[in-house]
Structure 1
Amino acid sequence: MKKVLIIAMAFISLHTVAQEREKGERSEYTPEQMATLHTKRMTLALDLSAAQQEQVQNLNLSQAEMRKTQMEARKARKTSEEGAKPTADERYAMQTERLDQQIALKAEMKKILSDEQYARWEKMAKRKGKHKKGKRGGKKGKHMSRE
Structure 2
Amino acid sequence: MKKLIAIALLFVGMTSFAQEKISKENRKAQRAEIEQLTPEQRNQLRLKELTLKLDLNASQQKEMAKIIAEQTTKREALKADMKSAKESNKKLTADERFVMKNKMLDEKIAMKERVKKILTPEQVEKWEKMKDDKKNHFKKGMKKHQGKKMEKK
TM-score (norm 1): 0.75
CA contact (8 A) 1:109 1:118 kept: yes
1:103–1:68 distance in 2 versus 1, CA, 3 Å: same
User: In structure 1, which of residues 10, 13, 31 is the aligned counterpart of residue 22 of structure 2?
Assistant: 13
Q: Distance in 1 between matches of 2:33 and 2:75?
A: 15
Partner of 1:31: 39
CA contact (8 A) 1:31 1:68 kept: no
Number of residue pairs aligned between Structure 1 and Structure 2: 134
Partner of 2:110: 104
**How well do the aligned residues superpose, as a CA RMSD in angstroms?**
3.1
Partner of 1:136: 142
**5+ unaligned residues in a row in structure 2: which ranges?**
1-9, 147-153
User: In structure 2, which of residues 77, 81, 91 is the aligned counterpart of residue 69 of structure 1?
Assistant: 77
Between the two proteins, what is the percent identity of the paired residues?
Answer: 33
Q: Distance in 1 between matches of 2:70 and 2:33?
A: 21
How far is the alpha carbon of 1:17 from its aligned partner?
2.9
**5+ unaligned residues in a row in structure 1: which ranges?**
141-147
Partner of 1:114: 120
The correspondence of residues 52-91 of structure 1 with structure 2, limited to 5 A, is 52-79=60-87, 81=88, 83-91=89-97
Structure 1 position 44 matched with structure 2 position 52: yes
Q: Distance in 2 between matches of 1:97 and 1:24?
A: 35
Mean CA deviation greater in 41-50 or 90-99: 90-99
Q: Which has the larger radius of gyration?
A: 2
1:4–1:135 distance in 2 versus 1, CA, 3 Å: farther
